[in-house]
Amino acid sequence: MQVEQLTTVIQTLVPEAQPGISKQYPEFIIPAARLHEVAKHLKENPDTYLDYLFCLTGLDRKDGFHVVYHLTSTKFPHIVVLRVILADKTNPMVATVSDLWKAAEYFEREAFDLLGIKFENHPDLRRIFLDDDWVGYPLRKDYKDSFTLER
Partner 1 sequence: MEETLMDLDLKEREEYVINMGPQHPSTHGVLRFETCLQGEKVKWIRPHCGYIHRGIEKMSESLTYPQLVHLTDRMDYLSAHINNEAVALCVENAMGVQVSDRVKYIRTILAELNRIASHQLWWSAFGMDLGALTTFFYGLRDREKILDIFEESTGSRLLQSFITPGGLMADVHPNFQKRTREFITYFRKKLPEYDQLLTGNVIFQERTKGIGYMSLEDAINYGVTGPSGRGSGFHCDIRKIAPYSAYPLVKFNEVTYTQGDTYHRYLVRMREMWESLDIIDQLIDNIPQGPIMLELKAIKPPKGEFYQRVETARGELGVYIVSDGGPTPARIRYRTPNFSNLFIINKIAAEHKIADLVAISGSLDLVIPDIDR
Contact residues for partner 1, defined by CB under 8 A: 21-25, 51-55, 57, 59-61, 68, 70, 74, 77, 101-103, 105-106, 110, 114, 127-131, 138-139, 149, 151
CA 45 remoteness from chain centre: 20
Q: CA-CA distance, 101 to 35, in Å (whole number)?
A: 14
Element (H, E) at 57: strand 52-61
9 residue type, one letter = V
Min separation Cβ 23 and partner 1, Å: 7
**Contact predicate 36/13, CB 8 Å:** no
Min separation Cβ 60 and partner 1, Å: 7
> 56: helix, coil or strand?
strand
Min separation Cβ 46 and partner 1, Å: 16
14 vs 59, beta carbon nearer partner 1: 59
Element (H, E) at 4: helix 3-13
64 vs 138, beta carbon nearer partner 1: 138
8 vs 131, beta carbon nearer partner 1: 131
Min separation Cβ 67 and partner 1, Å: 12
14 vs 139, beta carbon nearer partner 1: 139
**Contact predicate 95/106, CB 8 Å:** no
